[in-house]
Amino acid sequence: MGIVNVTPDSFSDGGQFLSHEAAIQHAVKLVEQGADIIDVGGESTRPKAVPVSEKEELERVMPVIEALAGRIKVPISIDTLKPAIARAALRAGASIVNDVGANRTDDAMWRIVAETGAGYVLMHMQGTPQTMQLNPVYQDVAGEVEDFFKERLGRLKSAGVQFERVVLDVGIGFGKTLEHNLQLLAGLGRFTNLERPLLLGVSRKSFISKLLGVAAAERLPAALACTVLAAQAGVQMFRTHDVSATVQALRMAEAMAAHK
Ligand code: 8Y7
């Protein structure tokens, strides 16, 4: 899953892809590099990011989705917390909702997913993007994330979302300390018991610099290490800025596994 941010406040892309044309071209390039899904987002969910209005978010993402729908052959996912944005994006040709706000209490998003038959990424987050990194606390982070998945899978079913449409994501960095992230990464295998595909996002995330003391621009080697080990633990999808490098790492790991 290649990341296309259409946001001026995103940390890694820093306004680089604000122009719709640049975002579209970036998406096309990621598909050429081997992305199987393009994830388009118009609101940064990085820690302390400022929320954007529905109108602003629509203006950011819709021209990009409309253009990509006629141009790329891989599915488009919409990264949004807002049901109205998801609905508009699905109408315009997106087919997956990447809902990092899956801990919501109202089920408007789920009803849209149910009605449209869209794919749905159920990601765990403790708190909200504004508050999540202030003081995340767990007794047993992997156990609590697993309980969250089970509870939400039940509620999704009640909302009419088919089990087969759902992908699970532990939400690295979303209300988690370095220690929590490492415990989740080390324990990814347990989530395969839930019998849904797993998605993981470690690309350029700050926990890498917290562990290694490297600059933000130097996080790729550690992200690739996480990716390969996570693939061996059963993760099937990776959300990344660095599609070419990620595809190479996964292909090499697959070739080695095939020669065992
Ligand atoms: C993730 C994500 C972000 C993630 C899923 C960033 C939108 C922060 N991270 N979606 N989104 N999983 N499913 O650093 O880990 O890219 S935004």
Residue 45, ligand 1, Cβ within 6 A: yes
Q: How far is CA 45 from CA 2, 38, 237, in A?
A: 16, 17, 20
C-beta separation of 43 from 52 below 8 A:
yes
Catalytic residue among 196, 204, 205, 219: 205
**Ligand 1 centre from 201 Cα, in Å?**
6
**Domain extents for the chain?**
2-255
Confidence label for 130 from pLDDT (cuts 50, 70 and 90): confident
Active site residue 71: no
pLDDT per residue over 87-122, tens digit each? Answer: 999 999 999 999 998 877 789 999 999 999 999 999
pLDDT on residue 133: 86
143 vs 193: CA distance, rounded Å: 12
pLDDT per residue over 51-80, tens digit each? Answer: 899 999 999 999 999 999 999 999 999 999
pLDDT on residue 197: 98
98 vs 250: CA distance, rounded Å: 22
Whole-angstrom distance between the N-terminal and C-terminal Cα of the chain? 27
- Amino acid 120 reads Y
Instruction: Give residues with Cβ within 8 angstroms of 174, minimum separation 6.
Output: 45, 100, 123, 124, 125, 126, 129, 132
Classify domain 2-255 at the CATH superfamily level.
Dihydropteroate synthase-like (3.20.20.20)
Residue 42, ligand 1, Cβ within 6 A: no
Q: Which helix (H) or strand (E) holds 168?
A: strand 166-169
Segment among 36-50, 63-77, 146-160 with least mean pLDDT: 36-50
pLDDT on residue 13: 53
- Residue with CA at minimum distance from ligand 1 atom 4: 201
pLDDT per residue over 162-221, tens digit each? Answer: 999 999 999 999 999 999 999 999 999 999 999 999 999 999 999 999 999 999 999 999
115 vs 131: CA distance, rounded Å: 32
Whole-model pTM: value is: 0.95
Q: What is the mean pLDDT of residues 32-58?
A: 91
Q: Which residue in 71, 73, 7 sits closest to 40, CA to CA?
A: 7
How many Å separate Cα 131 from the centre of its chain? 19
**Ligand 1 centre from 258 Cα, in Å?**
30
